Amino acid sequence: TNGVYIFLDNYLGELHSVTLIDNMKVVGSNEILEELIPIEKLKDYLIWREKEFVEKYEGIRHNTEKDNYSGFESSTKDGGVVIGLMNADLLQWDNKASHPWMFIITIPFDGSNSNGMPDKETYQLLNEIEDQIVLELKDLEGYLNVGRETLANKREIFFACKDFRKPSKIADELIKKYSGSFDINYEIYKDKYWQSFRYYEQK
């Protein structure tokens, strides 16, 4: 499997491998269920398929200014508290696939004196960081703030995006800016149908 990944990275180019392939499973010849595509035609096929998909959702934007938000609260197995605030309208949106890139920012903090939750000063700073991100990643430009979750000494902020380049740039800037206060990290991955938020959709 690793060899196949390495081959595709070299054959398609790393950028095409990331942007054109949603997921991959390596199987034997006896497990093939669909028509085979010659390897020399794979790149053209993937580009064509992505173009068809993009054209289907081209121009779709979502203005979140008047959206409804839902708050969630639950407990972890060890008795900790989980608090979430999610955009309920976005979770029910029919055009999720137009924003296929998940951008998740994780901000660890010391909540040892408050059952894993931030104190007042930390809470204000976390909100300040989130406000900065929302200001940079505008919904009409293709960056949707899906919500946030706070638990076990960390806050996670969720965005669904049309592109992965700008979010990573913004995250790197935040990491440098707040390096003295938080050890911020992030991840970006493709999730066309927002499987990451299924838990909240079922609430």
What pLDDT score does 77 carry?
A: 79
CATH number reported for the structural domain that contains residue 102 in this entry = 3.30.70.120
Same domain, 102 and 165: yes
Beta carbons of 107 and 129 less than 8 angstroms apart: yes
Same domain, 94 and 22: no
Percent of the chain scoring above 90 in pLDDT: 51
Same domain, 95 and 191: yes
Beta carbons of 195 and 96 less than 8 angstroms apart: no
Same domain, 155 and 104: yes
What pLDDT score does 164 carry?
A: 92
Same domain, 108 and 147: yes
Q: Is residue 30 part of a domain?
A: yes
Beta carbons of 160 and 146 less than 8 angstroms apart: yes
Q: How far apart are CA 161 and CA 185, in angstroms?
A: 18
Beta carbons of 50 and 20 less than 8 angstroms apart: yes
Range of the domain at 144: 69-201
Residue 144 has pLDDT above 90, yes or no: yes
Count up the domains in the chain and report the number. Answer: 2
Same domain, 166 and 95: yes
Same domain, 32 and 83: no
What pLDDT score does 203 carry?
A: 57
Same domain, 52 and 145: no
50: CB partners within 8 A, 6+ apart:
19, 20
154: CB partners within 8 A, 6+ apart:
106, 107, 108, 109
Strand-pair category, 101-108 with 143-151: unpaired
Same domain, 50 and 19: yes
Mean pLDDT in residue range 123-148: 95
Q: Give tens-digit pLDDT for 48-106.
A: 777 776 666 666 778 888 899 999 988 877 777 899 999 999 999 988 988 999 999 99
CA–CA–CA angle 23, 157, 71 (5° rounding): 110
What pLDDT score does 5 carry?
A: 79
What pLDDT score does 54 carry?
A: 63
Q: Is residue 115 part of a domain?
A: yes
Q: Give tens-digit pLDDT for 149-165.
A: 999 899 999 999 999 99
Q: Is residue 179 part of a domain?
A: yes
Q: Give tens-digit pLDDT for 21-53.
A: 777 888 888 888 888 888 888 888 777 777 776
Same domain, 102 and 27: no
Q: Which helix (H) or strand (E) holds 17?
A: helix 14-20
What pLDDT score does 126 carry?
A: 96
What pLDDT score does 59 carry?
A: 61
Same domain, 81 and 120: yes
Written as one letter, the residue type at 117 is: M
* Mean pLDDT of all residues belonging to the chain: 88
What pLDDT score does 135 carry?
A: 95
Same domain, 8 and 35: yes
Q: Is residue 63 part of a domain?
A: no
Beta carbons of 62 and 144 less than 8 angstroms apart: yes
Of 133 and 22, more confident: 133
CA distances from 100 to 3, 31, 57, 64, 103 (A): 27, 29, 11, 17, 10
